[in-house]
Structure 1
């Protein structure tokens, strides 16, 4: 087999895989978008390309007095924002300690982080539920934020620590020779060079509250405190409920804040700032 033919076959396979993945990803999205434009509420009477499309479901979500959609959206944004900020800050600090310092228990602490990644937060929900109830944080957005932040530390700290390890230690040593202290090294050297990985952490943690259903279901009880995932679930879960088209409209709009955050962080996600860290 000639090299030219081999390259052509490889490209065909690659493009074939991309096409299959494209169909798998976008076909459900197209169905959801088409479903949201169908008049009526029935799933079985709807089609992916409606003949008489309508925006009535989007209008209902935002303007009908019976709709709590804006409240759920606000709650999700609050939880996502604070979860992203606190998770990123804690992961940056904890990872810096494990990457740059040597102290008693460091090795076993890393093993504990690695072990904790194997168990989902849901396994400890009984204890977390009791703890939140004891401190009067059950059925509150604050309690939900604390669970998200605490559960993210092991994986995110391990992820950021691996990135810190790739930053040359010579930069730290040069800064300390010039009189920089630990905090100055952290804020002026490590954080600027670690922007790509911190952007990844911030994006992941911002997305999590929009996608998660189980934790809000366990912690939140009041409808006015529901997040989007929990609130939209009630559209198709309540007895005699048949609001699949409204559910699709609400689900489509979930992607808007995530897309905005991705666009804002895009230049950090695709740029490796450590490449020139030792030059000049």
Structure 2
């Protein structure tokens, strides 16, 4: 018994030591960037981890620069990410609900098609998307970028949502239909309230994707006023010959703020088991 206890204590100690080392490796670079935004000068290199002198000059320059439209790009990115989250999440939920609850012809073929298409990276369709948007006169518009992101959403999230819908007992659907509920009422009033953890995950995924994407934003948005943050930050380094890393770090810290807040506020929903015990007997 004593040997087992000693082995258990040793394993627990090693586990905590490993977690501490991993935490340091993850937090140290992030804290270095955060502290770098408060250091004077343009370089992130410093002999000390904590700045000897704190300054907010980089934050002031970020919002008062005539060539770096950070606030404007921030709102552009937020608008694109928000509407992509709404439209993309809706398409994923409707597609996954139909594939989970209904039995129709070519259902298996549809699932196989989604699986195969999801294996290919999205940037393989760049040329086709560019030519299509050019013919439709939709280049350099935010609505085009939102449609591109939303159209690809079912490829990435359908199987996650369908797998979650499959765990919800069908007896709930049958009971609701006996009471006269339609498929839409079953979907909105029964399935969605029980799917809050999965819904939160998909919504966050759809928001974060456009927030950090560079490839399609650079392809579609042509003028500086229409750019997103990713394109603007690349232009910052490219136009200043990779020298203004302090302002670049300041912008990245501000970009990380909304994502961090969302994960902190919605963390509980990601782990809630709302479907447990939903069906009795």
TM-score (norm 2): 0.93
State whether structure 2 residue 123 is matched by structure 1 residue 122: yes
Partner of 1:29: 30
Partner of 2:276: 275
User: Larger deviation: 135-144 or 199-208?
Assistant: 135-144
Q: Secondary structure of the residue that 2:52 maps to in structure 1?
A: coil
- Alignment of structure 1 residues 1-280 onto 2, 5 Å: 2-44=3-45, 48-238=49-239, 240-279=241-280
CA deviations 1:187-246 (Å, max 9, x no partner) are: 111111111101100011111122222221222221111111111122222253521000
Decide whether the 8 Å contact of 1:235 with 1:244 is kept in 2: no
> Gaps (5+ residues) in structure 1?
none
Instruction: After the TM superposition, list the runs of 4 or more consecutive aligned residues in structure 1 that deviate by more than 6 angstroms.
Output: none
Instruction: Report the Cα distance in structure 2 between the residues aligned to 1:208 and 1:263, rounded to whole angstroms.
Output: 18
CA RMSD of aligned residues (A): 1.9
CA deviations 1:18-54 (Å, max 9, x no partner) are: 2232123212211111211111213446854222221
Residues matched between the structures, number: 280
Instruction: Report the Cα distance in structure 1 between the residues aligned to 2:240 and 2:67, rounded to whole angstroms.
Output: 17
Decide whether the 8 Å contact of 2:89 with 2:153 is kept in 1: no
User: Larger deviation: 35-44 or 177-186?
Assistant: 35-44
Instruction: Report the Cα distance in structure 1 between the residues aligned to 2:48 and 2:207, rounded to whole angstroms.
Output: 32
Instruction: Report the Cα distance in structure 2 between the residues aligned to 1:129 and 1:20, rounded to whole angstroms.
Output: 46
Q: Are residues 66 and 150 of structure 1, via their aligned partners in 2, closer, same or farther at CA, if it must alter by over 3 Å? A: same
User: Larger deviation: 247-256 or 212-221?
Assistant: 212-221
Decide whether the 8 Å contact of 2:33 with 2:44 is kept in 1: no
TM-score (norm 1): 0.94
